[in-house]
Amino acid sequence: MRRIRYQEIADDVRARVLSAPAGSLLPSEAELSVEFGASRVTIRRALDLLREHGLIAARQGFGWFVASEPVRQHLVQLGTIESQLAESGMTNERRVIEFAFVDPPEHVRRILVADSVLRVKRINLADGEPFAVVTVWCPASLAGRLSREQVARHPISELLDVTLRGATQTIGADGAGPEDARLLRVPVGAPLLKCRRVTTSDDGVAVLVSEHLFPAHRTEFVVDLPSAGPSTMPSGLRLVE
């Protein structure tokens, strides 16, 4: 039986999807149109067929990608997403790409009250695919004995000789700049979840500032809310000044 063109294209793309890592991006519809010599309408029908079978998905700003369960972090207590990935059976890896003692940016200087900080930037991967770019600042007075090898293996919060009280975490949205887009393997301008966290010691002093950038098509935060009065708005929502 003669195969309809969009079905032939769907079969070809399906073979690629089945051998590709979860969450990885597919070529754009325009690129697939050129590759297969087919119209955008035909390409879209082929992709929609694969979406109906649960093999791929699409998000505004990302295009099409291999469908997968998102990387989730439950916000119930101070902890690391790495530990939650390990509990869910996923292999996690951290690659340090910057380790330097530097002058902090002004907003970090104000929070940490420090003129010299350790700045660590790393990529976090789940089952080999990047899901976060993380930048952490710590006062040099607390981080002077840390090494690149140590922070590649453990969160800085576990290496400091202080007792931690907790953290304030703010989640917003951003678009991927060229460098972060390259590291996360997403298009420039793709939507990101941006998490900013200030961790304090048991005496209330800020000891860490961190910024976490997550590709929005691969990650989500889950907040467990205690029983409270009815509300039409999510708990903790505030307007950005």
- Contact indicator for 119, 135 with CB cutoff of 8 Å: yes
Which domains are seen in the chain, by residue range?
A: 5-66 (1.10.10.10), 71-223 (3.40.1410.10)
Helix and strand numbers, DSSP H then E, in the chain: 9, 10
Q: What pLDDT is stored for residue 226 in this prediction?
A: 64
Q: Using only the alpha carbons of the chain, give its radius of gyration.
A: 21
Verdict on whether the full-model pTM lies above 0.85: no
pLDDT on residue 75: 47
In a structure prediction context, what are the per-residue pLDDT tens digits for the chain, which is 241 residues long?
446 889 999 999 999 988 887 778 888 899 999 999 999 999 999 999 998 888 888 877 678 888 766 655 554 544 556 665 566 666 778 899 999 999 999 999 999 999 999 999 999 888 888 889 999 999 999 999 999 999 998 889 889 999 988 888 888 888 888 999 899 988 888 888 888 999 999 999 999 999 999 988 777 777 666 655 555 555 555 555 5
Q: Per DSSP, which regions of 38-139 are E strands? A: 56-59, 63-66, 71-75, 92-102, 117-126, 129-139
